Structure 1
Amino acid sequence: MSKVPSHARVVIVGGGVAGCSVAYHLTKLGWTDVVLLERKRLTSGTTWHAAGLIAQLRATKNMTRLAKYSQELYGNLEAETGVATGFRRCGSITMALTEHRAEEIRRQASMARSFGVEVEEIDAAEVNRRYPHVNTEGMTAAVWLPLDGQGDPANIALAMAKGARMGGATVLEGVKVTGVDTEGGKVNGVDWEMDGDSGTIRAEMIVNCAGMWARDFGQLAGVNVPLQACEHFYIVTENIPDLAQLPVLRVPDECAYYKEDAGKMLLGAFEPVSKPWGPIPEDFEFDQLPEDFDHFEPILENACERMPMLAEAGIHTFFNGPESFTPDDAYHMGPAPEVDGYWVCAGFNSIGIQSAGGAGWALAEWMEHGIPPFDVGEVDIRRMQPFQRNRRYLRERASETLGLLYADHYPYRQKATARGVRRSPLHEHLKAQGAVFGELAGWERANWFANEGQAREYVYDWKGQNWFENQAQEHRAVREAVGMYDMSSFGKIRVDGPDAEAFLDRIAGGDMAVPVGKIVYTQFLNARGGIEADVTITRMAHDSYLIVTPAATLIRDMAWLKMHRRDEMVVISDVTAAEAVIAVMGPNSRALLQSVSPHDWSNEAFPFGTAQEIEIGLGTARAHRVTYVGELGWEIYVSADQAAHVFETLHAAGADHGLRLCGMHMMDSARIEKAFRHFGHDITGEDHVVEAGLGFAVAKTKSHFIGADAVAKKREEGLQMRLVQFKLTDPEPMLFHAEPIIRDGEVVSYITSGNYGHTLGGAIGMGYVPCPGETPAEMLASTYEIEVAGTRVRAEASTRPMYDPKSERARA
């Protein structure tokens, strides 16, 4: 065995497929001072017993890009390293047994086309031709992806480990990392022990690839990596004579997947209610968990009907092994917000083999360049909230998340477990008025309000769901009278200190040299001009600003600010829980507020884009005149102790003004009519601020902010893409996300976000359209369609908001 070195540029902890991939890709970038430490033997945690399914299609374009990269990598590793990976493109079939599932897989097929993944819907006869052993009774639809594949998980990891060694990395087994040394909030090295020996490796960076140990290992350095090991079951049959190579078959309605494996059949399950497992024994290595045939038996019974030859084949192996699952079924990747130089790549939710090649490449690029190759926000570790490391929370949530892999992936689906952790000061008031809550970043948020006698629950569908008319009523109230909704969950960051203006002027694209009380809508940009945050910044005092950001991005935005702070004298504080925020929006909002406050709410005294201290009811608050729904209105910021009183005051007075309580679903339908962007969907770190149509929010009078050069270059060279708003001419179909955009008969892009426009009378979507050298008029002269579940629907297109394009209503 090689000697443990005393210094390294980076230490990777964990020798599963993720750790091996990170090491391999760092050496491809020329990093030779790379050390990978594995506590036992390579692949001995989860990798060795993975099923090895390698699919291309994921739920978003960039996750699909990473999965496709993994496939291409695995196909070439054997020639490079001499280690056989067993990779072969056998194709895959997904079979639906319900009409709802048929709609889902047809929408997935449409999405695949927009992402450049080859896909075809096939009938039962074609399923039987490709998979002669399957019973297609009850089948409602099926799709065929010819380039999907399978491989040998352990050998894929070992091939990348060998490739890393070939590139100069040190890969050591039997070395346990016992601690992470930090100094001044930065990684300084790791402590290790091996066979009674111990020592320290001084290092600039560490990558936590510890798999199901990643949570506990992260705790050693105060880093939050929420995940939970769960039991995962599959069986392998005895050898079946004359069994030829077959595609992978997924039957999610029966929670099952099938894989031909060297003349045997493997049947795996993602059961609806899983079994969290732990704590992990110290000596765990290539171990199996106890069999639980009773738990697996319902899956097997259905499988014997679906695949009759299973009833005749003996079971060679009943396997139960642990795999790690995260609270939202998305893996963890990127820089930890707590410690500089600490990176994470873990928690792969049973898709580690198909994801790790791409994830290792993207993380290596991120470490090299300080920015990921494209937007990976959905797996960014900084999306996780501190409370989510709670063990009870993780066990309860993990019992659900494994099963959600094969559940119907309905839009707006809400998690059912581990709820109620974070609540607004208005929670009980909203609950008493019929609120139906959803969850985001742990916050319970009123998504819609049930009418009297209506069940307070979601009934999921791919068409208008059971709350569709409730949303419409709330939408009309905001457009025609006045609506009130709770925005307390939105993140609030204070930046205080003598250098606050100079600091934020460098971070944000907008001009921060504004009067006290002025609200600036702006973005934080990266060096490429991509959007890292979409915020409003209010100047509270000469040396104090308040940043308001979406609830889900608070941790990320705090980390961005701290990462880019130089020697400025500023204090950055999360003050989210200190204030509730009550939005009062609609043409009657001024009259309602005037009735409960002596303040002057006129346009002259309280212009748009300003904030003022007010009296309201018996208390005091601060009103911000901004809107995310495109109407006249104010956001009322009130201390948590006075929030209930202000809500009661407004609610009581609202009866005379047509007030209706509203939820987040209304806010989303109203904002998309106004073509307001949604961060994480319409605008991300890879979307240029000018191409997103937000160049107006970037000051032209300064050039020292992050991303300034990229903005100037884009303005000079012209746009390659343009964010366009679409409206379906047929009022029936629904848009959600990733539906293909067809221009003059050709797929050119996809919908980044969608909702129903109750005022405009149809589904509304946003999406980027390639337009090199074109004027808006030339681009809009084309014919546009949106593909919805395989059917093309005509769409109107606009580069200006279809609702109130001049923003006259909000400024009235």
Structure 2
Amino acid sequence: MAFPPEKARVVIVGGGVIGCSVAYHLTQLGWKDVVLLERKQLTSGTTWHAAGLIAQLRATQNMTRLAKYSQELYGKLEEETEVATGFRRNGSITVALSDERREEILRQASMARAFGVEVEEISPSELLNRYPHVNASDVKAAVYLDKDGQGDPANIALALAKGAKMRGAKILERTKVTGFGKEGRRITSVSWEANDESGTIECDHVVNCAGMWGHDVGRQMGVNVPLHACEHFYIVTETVPGLTQLPTLRVPEECAYYKEDAGKMLLGAFEPLAKPWGMNGISEDFEFDQLPEDFDHFEPILEMAVNRMPLLAETGIHTFFNGPESFTPDDAYHLGLAPQMDNVWVAAGFNSIGIQSAGGAGMALAAWMDTGEKPFDLGDVDIARMQPFQGNKTYLFERSKETLGLLYADHFPYRQKATARGIRRSPLHDALKAEGAVMGELAGWERANWFADEGQTAEYQYSWKRQNWFGNAAREHKAIRENVGIYDMSSFGKIRVDGPDAEAYLNHISASNLSVPTGKIVYSQFLNTRGGIEADVTVTRLSETAYLVVTPAATRLADQEWMRRHIGDYRVTLTDMTAAEAVICVMGPNARTLLERVSPNDFSNGTNPFGTFQEIEIGMGLARAHRVTYVGELGWELYVSSDMAVHVFETLRAAGRDMDAKLCGLHMMDSCRIEKGFRHFGHDISSEDHILEAGLGFALKKTDVAYIGRDAVMRKHEEGLQKRMVQFLLSDPEPLLYHAEPVIREGAIVGYLTSGNYGHTLGAAVGMGYVPCEGQTAQDVLASSYEIEIAGQRVSATPSLKPFYDPKSERVKV
């Protein structure tokens, strides 16, 4: 038996399809001294029993890019390695049994076209031509993707492993990782044991590809990898006479998928209430194991399946299979450089889509490791999106009951998770709930999204059309535009930067000039070396040596980690202050009047102009009044220590009642910001979007001070823009926009919307998206005719490079 070497450039922990893919792609990039350690045998955890479905279309362009790459890779692997992968493009069909699901799959078909995925909408009769075994009597719509496929999961992994070994990787089975040596924020060695032998490997990098063991292995490494195993069920029939190759069939409303496999039918399920597994740990002997049958749990799925696929009633069951799969809190896998450590990488938690994801995920992670920068935007799966509390095992147990089923649940816009709620609460939580707040959840924070009227059911009623809160949000929007509204922004991240080098450090990482007087607030971006946007923040100078960086709630940890990794020799400290201060927003044309009722301070332009803060008295408490806005109106964000937040809120509420000051939620904030053309990080701007093409050049330094990304900004100035961020207003007031709807220019798809919402002031839905413009002027871009495709229907739209609402920002400065 071969034993591990004493040194390696990278040690990969885990020999499933993901670990094998990472090894394959690192060696493809020329990495030497790549070592993969597998505790038992390759594929023996969850890879071996995967269904092997390989779809192309995912929820975002980059996730689709990764899935398409997997397909292309698996099609070539057999020729390269002489290991049969079983890959074939047999296509897939998804059917809808209700009007709501019909809308969803037709919107997905439009999205597929925007992402360059071949898709065809087919009628129920065409469905029967391609899948004669299905009962189509109640099918409302269906879509067919010709290039989708399936493969042999274990052999795909073994082919990747062989490809890696052919380029020098050492892959060692029955070699258990027992611990890690650490120095500060780096792992320096990996301990192992095999065949009564043991040792250590010195290493530069380590990758956690431990699958359902990833959470516990992560804790040993000193990183947080939130995932939990669930039982996953499928049955395989006896041989069906005359059964030939068929597309994969998905019937999401019945939680079922059907796969023809060697003349047999496989029926798998993603039931709404899943069964978490492995709460007390996973057996040391686990290898190619199955879990106990639970026919009672599977029976409701099977009953629907017999009606949908009548041949099942006439065919015996050959195999009832129950095996574990790992699921994450948000149904997106974990990839990338882990917070807490500087050389620990993660590729785990693939939510039952590991085979279709593995090729692309391995490619992307290897590229990231090789250059030190993400190859393109990976925010959907970046491990840094996970909050520390999400590693809590009780939380993971509760959330995993839901996340398995969400794969096939209706993906309604604004859908909120139902499990593991109420963990992070603003100091205003109870006060807002008492006034009808309907809460959503983001990064564990309970946030008021809208306010129910008296007598109205205070909960979401989901739809692809106007949901039950549409009118509520419209009235909140109107209050902000015409009077005054109050809302809670306490969940937004707050990172304090202290130290004698604070100014120099922030000027290094920020694309804006932070050499400003105390009291000044600067809107800024942190860039990567390509000029892409790593963070979208406001930076407030609190004193000579202290600043406050305010970030979106979901990216606080990622942003703080990015800041920390660029400290170098600067004498600064970073402190997460998010929970220390509440933020109460007072916005609208009458905001100044309301604040003057509760504070003796001067809120005039002379004392407190836009982009500055002042310390104020308010009621019997104290606050910092930051004059900034994300809704495009006169207003202030009041930063109040958490202990005084309820008092300040009550003071504002009492003083505002006879002004009809309205409590507002964050759905209002999003509809107001999109009218104003304000970018939303993670949708409209990301690490892949150049700051100039995003239309944010106004925020750049006007000095020669160097900063990360400056060279890329200068190059773009010289080369010219290849795309522009454009705002679109639909001509028809009825349709709704969300995101990923195709943008059609002069009859051809040229891009897709990065975000969308309803513009209640403008009277129609508004979207934002990038339009290619290489060699074109701004006038050329605007001179074209545009349409937006929504569920297969094209709606004309007016383009604009300036905000449709208050283009000169006169309202925020009155």
| CA deviation after TM superposition for structure 1 residue 184, in Å | 2.1
- Between the two proteins, the alignment pairs up a number of residues equal to 812
Q: Could you tell me how far apart the structure 2 residues matched to 1:267 and 1:644 are?
A: 54
Report the Cα offset of residue 657 of structure 1.
2.4
- Compute the displacement of 1:124 (Å): 1.1
Map of 1:440 onto structure 2: 442
Secondary structure of the structure 2 residue equivalent to 1:715? helix
Tell me by how many angstroms 1:282 deviates. 1.2
Deviation at 1:526, TM superposition (A): 0.3
CA contact (8 A) 1:728 1:762 kept: yes
Structure 1's unaligned 5+ residue stretches are none
Deviation at 1:642, TM superposition (A): 0.4
- Please list, as runs of the form range in 1=range in 2, the aligned pairs for 1:297-446 lying within 5 A after superposition: 297-446=299-448
Say which SS state the counterpart of residue 711 (structure 2) adopts.
helix
Give, as a single letter, the amino acid of the residue that structure 2 aligns with 1:246: L
Amino acid at match of 2:387: Q
Letter in 2 for 1:536: T
In structure 1, the partner of 2:257 is 257
Query: Displacement, 1:775?
Result: 1.3
Q: CA deviation at 1:636?
A: 0.1
Match of 1:141 in 2: 141
User: For each residue in 1:152-196, what CA deviation from the matched residue of structure 2 results, as whole angstroms up to 9, or x when unmatched?
Assistant: 000000000000000110000001111121102112111111122
Counterpart contact for 1:744–1:782, Cα < 8 Å: yes
Q: Distance in 2 between matches of 1:307 and 1:627?
A: 56
What secondary structure does 2:179 align onto?
strand
Name the aligned partner's letter for residue 163 of structure 2: G
Q: Where does residue 102 of structure 2 map in the other structure?
A: 102
Aligned counterpart for 2:658 among listed residues 652, 656, 659: 656
Alignment partners' CA distance in 2, 1:2 and 1:411:
53
1:775 maps to which of 774, 777, 802: 777
1:739 corresponds to 2:741: yes
Counterpart of 2:411 in 1: which secondary structure?
Answer: coil
1:215 match: 215
Q: Does residue 790 of structure 2 align to residue 788 of structure 1?
A: yes
Query: d(CA) in 2 for partners of 1:656 and 1:126?
Result: 62
Point out 4+ residue stretches in structure 1 off by more than 4 angstroms: none
Aligned to 2:277, the other structure's residue is in SS state: coil
User: Which structure 2 residues correspond to residues 216-615 of structure 1 after superposition, within 5 A?
Assistant: 216-278=216-278, 279-615=281-617
SS in 2 for 1:714: helix
Quote the Cα distance in structure 1 between the aligned partners of 2:635 and 2:3. 67
- Asked if 2 retains the 8 angstrom alpha-carbon contact of 1:189 and 1:205, the reply is no
- In the alignment, which residue of structure 2 is the partner of 1:92? 92
Cα deviation for residue 717 of structure 1 reads 1.4
Aligned position for 2:72:
72
Per the TM alignment, residue 371 of structure 1 is displaced from its structure 2 partner at its CA by 1.2
2:709 is matched with: 707
Classify the secondary structure of the residue corresponding to 1:87: coil
Report the CA distance between 1:241 and its aligned residue: 1.5
- Supply the distance in 1 between the matched residues of 2:676 and 2:659 (Cα, whole angstroms): 24
Please give the alpha-carbon distance, in whole angstroms, between the structure 2 residues aligned to 1:275 and 1:90: 31
Could you tell me how far apart the structure 1 residues matched to 2:660 and 2:6 are? Answer: 71
Q: Report the 3-state secondary structure (helix = DSSP H, G, I; strand = E; otherwise coil) of the residue aligned with 1:379.
A: coil
Q: CA deviation at 1:703?
A: 4.2
CA–CA distance in structure 1, aligned partners of residues 250 and 133 of structure 2: 14
In 2, Cα distance between equivalents of 1:612 and 1:369: 43
Contact kept in structure 2, 1:703 and 1:709, CA below 8 Å: no
CA deviation map 1:769-794 (0-9, x unaligned): 00011111111110000000000000
1:727 matched to 2:700? The reply is no
1:119-143 Cα offsets, whole Å, 9 max, x none, are 0100111111111111101000000
Q: Distance between the aligned counterparts of 1:716 and 1:661, measured in 2?
A: 48
Which of 754, 759, 762 is the aligned partner of 2:761? Answer: 759
Check the 8 A contact 1:609/1:626 in 2, yes or no.
yes
Shift, 1:656, TM fit: 2.9
CA RMSD of aligned residues (A): 0.6
SS at match of 2:643: coil
Partner Cα separation in structure 1 for residue 116 and residue 542 of structure 2: 48
Give CA deviations for 1:415-449 in whole Å, capped at 9, x if unaligned: 00000000000000001110000000000000000
Does the Cα contact within 8 Å between 1:784 and 1:795 map onto a contact in 2?
yes
Contact persistence 1:10–1:206 (CA under 8 A) = yes
TM-score normalised over the length of structure 1: 1.00
What is the SS of the residue equivalent to 1:361? Answer: helix
Deviation track 1:741-792 (CA, whole Å, cap 9, x = no partner) reads 0000000000000000000000000000000111111111100000000000
The correspondence for 1:810, drawn from 805, 809, 812, is: 812
Asked whether the equivalents of residues 91 and 149 of structure 1 are also in contact (C-alpha less than 8 Å), the reply is: yes
1:480 and 1:308 mapped to 2: Cα distance?
60
Secondary structure of the residue aligned to 1:693 is coil
CA distance in 2, matches of 1:310, 1:680: 44
Aligned to 2:38: 38
CA distance in 2, matches of 1:776, 1:731: 27
Structure 2 counterpart SS, 1:204: strand
Shift of 1:3: 2.2
Query: Is 1:192 aligned with 2:172?
Result: no
Please tell me the residue identity of whatever aligns with 1:169.
Answer: A
Please list every run of 5 or more consecutive structure 2 residues that lacks an aligned counterpart in the other structure: none
CA contact (8 A) 1:740 1:786 kept: yes
Structure 2 Cα separation of the partners of residues 526 and 107 of structure 1: 33
DSSP 3-state at the match of 1:364:
helix
Q: Is the 8 A contact 1:518 1:539 kept in 2?
A: yes
* Superimposed CA distance per residue, residues 307-346 of structure 1 (whole angstroms, 9 cap, x where no aligned partner): 1111111111000000000000000000011111000000
